[in-house]
Homo-oligomer: A and B are copies of this chain.
Amino acid sequence: MNNKPLPGRELTGFDDLLARFRAMTPKRRVVVVCPTDEPTRAVVEQCAAEGSAEFLLTVEADKAEMVREIADRHPGIEVFVADDIDAAAALGVQLVREGRGDVLMKGGINTDRLLRPVLNKEHGLLPPGQVLSHITLTKVPAYSKMLLFADAAVIPAPNDEQFRAMLRYTIDTEHALGNPCPRVALIHFTEKVNQKFEYTLTYADLIKEAAEGAFGECVVGGPMDVKTACDLHSAEIKGIDSPVAGKADVLIFPILTAANTFYKTVSFFCDAPMAGVLCGTTAPVVIPSRADHDISKLYSLALACLL
Q: Point out residues on A near B: beta carbons under 8 Å.
A: 140, 142-143, 152, 156, 187-189, 197-198, 225-228, 230-231, 234, 237-238, 253-258, 260-262, 264-271, 290-291
A187-B261, A227-B291, A257-B253 in contact; A268/B237 too (CB < 8 A)? no
* Chain B residues near A189 (CB-CB < 8 A): 152, 156, 256-257, 260
Say yes or no: A269 contacts B237, CB within 8 Å.
no
Besides A156-B189, A255-B257, 6 more A-B contacts (Cβ < 8 Å) are A143-B269, A156-B197, A227-B264, A227-B267, A234-B291, A258-B261
Say yes or no: B260 contacts A257, CB within 8 Å.
no
* Chain B residues near A238 (CB-CB < 8 A): 290-291
For A264, give its contact among B142, B152, B225, B260 (CB under 8 Å).
B225
For A268, give its contact among B156, B231, B257, B267 (CB under 8 Å).
B231
Q: Could you give 18 example pairs across A and B, Cβ below 8 Å?
A: A142-B269, A142-B271, A143-B269, A152-B189, A187-B261, A189-B260, A225-B261, A226-B261, A227-B267, A227-B268, A230-B269, A231-B291, A253-B257, A261-B265, A265-B269, A269-B269, A269-B270, A270-B270
* Chain B residues near A142 (CB-CB < 8 A): 268-271
* Chain B residues near A266 (CB-CB < 8 A): 265, 269
A189 to B255, CA, bound (A): 11
Q: Distance in Å from the Cβ of A284 to the closest Cβ of chain B?
A: 22
* Chain B residues near A257 (CB-CB < 8 A): 187-189, 253-255, 257-258
A30 to B257, CA, bound (A): 37
Q: Distance in Å from the Cβ of A289 to the closest Cβ of chain B?
A: 9
